[in-house]
Structure 1
Amino acid sequence: MIEAHEFVDAARERGFDWYAGVPCSYLTPFINYVLQDPKLHYYSAANEGDAVALIAGVALAGKRGVTMMQNSGLGNAVSPLTSLTWTFRLPQLLIVTWRGQPGVPDEPQHQLMGPITPQMLETMEIPWETFPTDAAEIGPALDRATAHMDATGRPYALVMQKGSVAPYALKSEGNRTRPAHTPAVTTLTGAAPSALPTRTDVLARVIERTPLENTVVLASTGFCGRELYALDDRANQLYLVGSMGCVTTIALGLALARPDLRVVALDGDGAALMRLGAMATLGAYGPRNLVHLLLDNAAHDSTGGQATVSPNVSFAGVAAACGYAFSIEGDALSVVDRLFDAESVDGVRFGCVLTRPGSPDGLPRPKVTPVDVQKRLGRHIDDTGARPDVTPQASAPAVS
């Protein structure tokens, strides 16, 4: 058994300052220590896949991060672990608890996941070893992890057994107060269905409002990224493939790790519905340099135009209820302008534009590979200077 600070201090020496995850009783002392260290950043995610995506955003900023989860949450994390971190080569250290470990009595819901946890990691090509339980083992384990991450650009896992870390109490529950009021939602509507803007119209306006210097644009999977690429393949853009619904949490990680950048997440209605809990995470932690723009055509356009349930949802209402500082929706391009003009708002901003379904004929797929576009973006933001009007935002208080 080790003390939490022994691992955290050794990890910090190797550049691991960023943590995200979903709690497990095995992780309790570890998370409690990280939460109460003012020099570390910890973010509580709605699910394990969102935690993986958030730390992927941190990696996109060129920093090291740790994602913590119970092994039962590996199922939630499969998509970003196989089509985001693996595909784009965005490394992170995984700490996965081993509930239901063979030979260790546990609850019935862990009886299957326990024995197959190593197999799941190996199937996803994630090398793993057991979490160190002796102080002398910590440094070598972290060195093996960082060597793999640096060589491959992909995750490495430490599987934590019961009793690996000595208890550490959470001395404060943090600020549990709610906002005094929900921010108002601005609605701009009135266009006939045939007069709705197209996705291309909206993306062209976004390009106008996101100059290369100090702005990053992350586009959701499907036609959103492909149309953005077709309009103008710029060095400050990344086109997500796979990991549907993860663009907002990737953007959150990048915006938190690089407060000097304006980070724009381009979302879709189907993707947002898949991971709606991510909006609560953005509402809690989202800094003022993060902009979330959702293009809603009420369809899964890239898979044949099947309908989504978005006509029953006010995404701007959800954003406001989740704590976004600014929320607007409508059926005109002016929504984009109002969203980008609200720079004085102290917090994350949200806009939803209703668009017509459909895409241009002959829409190309990006010729740049995911790894190449990630590296290109990394080089671009490395050369980007700080914006004087954007300041870092501290982690939100712990909420138990």
Structure 2
Amino acid sequence: MIEAAQFVEAARERGFDWYAGVPCSYLTPFINYVLQDESLHYVSAANEGDAVALIAGVALGASGAFKARRGIAMMQNSGLGNAVSPLTSLTWTFRLPQLLIVTWRGQPGVADEPQHALMGPVTPAMLDTMEIAWELFPTEADAIGPALDRATAHMDSTGRPYALVMQKGSVAPYKLTRKGLSGVRQRALNERAEVQSFAGTGERVSRHDALQRVIAHTPKESTVVLASTGFCGRELYAIDDRENQLYLVGSMGCVTPMALGLALSRPDLNVVALDGDGAALMRMGVFATLGAYGPANLTHLLLDNGAHESTGGQATVSQGVEFARIASACGYALALDGDELAVIDRLFDAKDIDGVRFARLSINTGTPDDLPRPSITPEDVRRRLQTHIGR
């Protein structure tokens, strides 16, 4: 058994200062220790996939003066199910490394609750299937450094995650003496932004026009634009493929937690998350996380056409969802709603906003017949963006 401080401080020496996850009783000592150290950062995620995507955003920002920064996603092994999509189509695809601490509930031969009876035995096979290198979490002080060195060497050479699988009783208890969460804005706890509506003529704008307006408000020198999977990223690429843009090609719903990780770890950048209604509905828990932790350099724009357009135009249920009110209720500092381009202008022109800003713009369906797919690979997009922001 080791002490929480022994692992966390050894990890800090190797650049690990960002943590995100969902609690498990095995992880309690780590979470308690990190929460009580103001020089470390812990984000309480709504689910394990959001935690992985958030730490992927931290990894994306690791360039230039921030190159040594690393992050850790923590979860119970039951949460691997929630994390499969970002682990297989985000971190793997873009080569965004992170350390995973996965607790081994239901380990064969160790008595546990019935809900862990299946996941326990298959946990190693799940990691192997996802091509995630792993080893058992160190339980002796002199084993911590070598384990972390193996992890960082793998992450640096492959650009992919490395997992430490934690068995029961690996870490001694560490008492939590402070209340609340570190990094949560008081405004998010005490105030609610009034929803501002912009009613136009009733004729929705096109995605093309909306994206052109976004480009006009996002100068390359100071802004990063992350576009959701599907036609949003493809059309942004077709209009103007700029080095400050990244196009998700999978991991649906992960653009917002990824943008949060980038914005928190890189306060020198303005970060814009271009979301879609289908993607937002898939991971609505992240609205609460963004409202609580979202900094003033983060902008969340949801382009809502009421359809899964890239898969054939099947309708979503967004027509009955008031996204701006949800954003306001979750603690966003600005919440806009409307069907005219002035919504985008207001979103980017708003001054003195203490926290993340949000707008839902209702848009038309419809995409150019010859809309191309990016010819640049995801790895090259990521590498190009990191070089750009590293300057």
Normalised to the residue count of structure 2, the TM-score between the two structures is 0.96
Specify whether residues 41 and 181 from structure 1 end up closer, same or farther in structure 2 by C-alpha distance, changes over 3 A only: closer
| Partners of 1:200 and 1:330 in 2: CA distance | 17
| Partners of 1:38 and 1:365 in 2: CA distance | 43
Contact 2:53 2:257 in 1 (8 A): yes
What whole-Å deviation, never above 9, does each CA across 1:77-136 have from its counterpart, x for those lacking one? 000000000000000000000000000000000000000000000000001100000000
| Partners of 2:148 and 2:351 in 1: CA distance | 41
Q: Which amino acid counterpart does residue 376 of structure 1 have in structure 2? A: R
| Partners of 1:48 and 1:155 in 2: CA distance | 14
Residue number in structure 1 paired with 2:140: 134
Deviation, 1:173, is 1.7
Q: Which amino acid counterpart does residue 268 of structure 1 have in structure 2? A: G
Deviation, 1:355, is 0.2
Aligned residue for 1:82, secondary structure, equals helix
| Partners of 2:143 and 2:17 in 1: CA distance | 20
Residue number in structure 2 paired with 1:186: 196
Residue number in structure 2 paired with 1:337: 345
Q: Cα RMSD (Å) of the superposition?
A: 1.0
Note if 1:89 corresponds to 2:99: no
Q: Which amino acid counterpart does residue 191 of structure 1 have in structure 2? A: T
Residue number in structure 1 paired with 2:166: 160
Deviation, 1:183, is 1.1
Aligned residue for 2:165, secondary structure, equals strand
Residue number in structure 2 paired with 1:357: 365
| Partners of 1:371 and 1:292 in 2: CA distance | 24
Deviation, 1:190, is 3.6
Structure 1 residue ranges (4+ consecutive) displaced by more than 6 angstroms after TM superposition: 175-178
Aligned residue for 1:259, secondary structure, equals coil
Residue number in structure 2 paired with 1:42: 42
Contact 2:191 2:331 in 1 (8 A): no
Aligned residue for 1:159, secondary structure, equals strand
Note if 1:143 corresponds to 2:153: no
Contact 2:189 2:292 in 1 (8 A): no
| Partners of 2:154 and 2:189 in 1: CA distance | 43
Identity of aligned residues (%): 74
What whole-Å deviation, never above 9, does each CA across 1:177-220 have from its counterpart, x for those lacking one? 8734421000111433xx21000010000000001101000000
> What are the equivalent positions in structure 2 for 1:269-288 lying under 5 Å apart?
269-288=277-296
| Partners of 1:107 and 1:179 in 2: CA distance | 35
Deviation, 1:149, is 0.1
119, 122, 126: which one pairs with 2:125?
A: 119
Note if 1:380 corresponds to 2:388: yes
| Partners of 2:112 and 2:243 in 1: CA distance | 50
Aligned residue for 2:189, secondary structure, equals coil
Residue number in structure 1 paired with 2:223: 215
Residue number in structure 1 paired with 2:22: 22
What whole-Å deviation, never above 9, does each CA across 1:275-324 have from its counterpart, x for those lacking one? 00001000000000000000000000000000000000011000000000
Aligned residue for 2:274, secondary structure, equals strand
Q: Which amino acid counterpart does residue 270 of structure 1 have in structure 2? A: G
Q: Which amino acid counterpart does residue 92 of structure 2 have in structure 1? A: W
Q: Which amino acid counterpart does residue 55 of structure 1 have in structure 2? A: I
247, 251, 255: which one pairs with 1:243?
A: 251
| Partners of 1:36 and 1:185 in 2: CA distance | 35
103, 106, 112: which one pairs with 2:112?
A: 106
What whole-Å deviation, never above 9, does each CA across 1:39-60 have from its counterpart, x for those lacking one? 1000000000000000000000
| Partners of 1:316 and 1:304 in 2: CA distance | 26
Aligned residue for 1:179, secondary structure, equals helix
| Partners of 1:349 and 1:123 in 2: CA distance | 39
Deviation, 1:343, is 3.0
Q: Which amino acid counterpart does residue 351 of structure 2 have in structure 1? A: E
Q: Which amino acid counterpart does residue 276 of structure 2 have in structure 1? A: G
Deviation, 1:75, is 0.1
What whole-Å deviation, never above 9, does each CA across 1:156-187 have from its counterpart, x for those lacking one? 00000000000001101227987344210001
Q: Which amino acid counterpart does residue 111 of structure 1 have in structure 2? A: A
Paired residues, number: 381
Deviation, 1:38, is 1.2
Note if 1:289 corresponds to 2:297: yes
Q: Which amino acid counterpart does residue 76 of structure 1 have in structure 2? A: N
| Partners of 1:28 and 1:234 in 2: CA distance | 43
| Partners of 1:282 and 1:201 in 2: CA distance | 27
| Partners of 1:231 and 1:251 in 2: CA distance | 22
| Partners of 1:82 and 1:189 in 2: CA distance | 41
Aligned residue for 1:201, secondary structure, equals helix
Residue number in structure 1 paired with 2:65: none
